[in-house]
Amino acid sequence: MTSVDAVAKADVAKEYFAAFNRRDFETLTNIFAPDIFFEHESPIQGRDKIISMLQGFCTAFPDLTFSVTDQISREDEVVCFLRSSGTWRGEFAGVSPTGRHFTACTVDRIRFSGASIASISTVCEVLGGFSMMHQLGIAAQQSEV
């Protein structure tokens, strides 16, 4: 891969998060491969399913934003270091909102097929999933049950 390819893919990865922040699902549809795979606790495959999942996040966290703090590009992948924040206003994971705000740092690995995003996986949550769950008040709710 030439350095121009690496820069182009890094730009596409940044645009993924920028488009999400704008709630520009048309752009997301255009940069996702049709059979994109989202790797997380419950893997999801297919552009329409992933767009639907992202829209669900926007419903649960209307002010959810991601900022790319650093990137590493090589071959057909870009690793993005992210800071996210949002306020829980709608149902999430079957739980009613607490209205609480969270911030989290994560690392996402984005793989490409040509110029399209073929897969996204959250490699690690720097502050840990429990920290986010605690900030949202989910950990407290589950321990009370």
| CATH number where 91 lies | 3.10.450.50
Phi, psi of 122 (to 5 degrees): -80, 110
User: At 78, which amino acid appears?
Assistant: V
Report d(CA 117, CA 113) in Å as an integer. 6
Q: How many domains does the chain have?
A: 1
* pTM attached to this predicted model: 0.85
Q: Output b/e per residue, 51-82; b: 16+ Cβ within 10 A.
A: beebeeeeebbeebebebeebebeeebbbbbb
In degrees, to the nearest 5, what angle opens at C-alpha 128 toward C-alphas 57 and 123?
75
Structural domain span for residue 18 = 3-144
pLDDT tens track, the chain, 145 positions: 445 588 899 999 999 999 999 999 999 999 999 999 999 778 999 999 999 999 999 999 999 999 999 999 998 999 999 999 999 999 988 889 999 998 888 899 999 999 999 999 987 665 545 566 666 777 654 444 4
Report d(CA 17, CA 29) in Å as an integer. 13
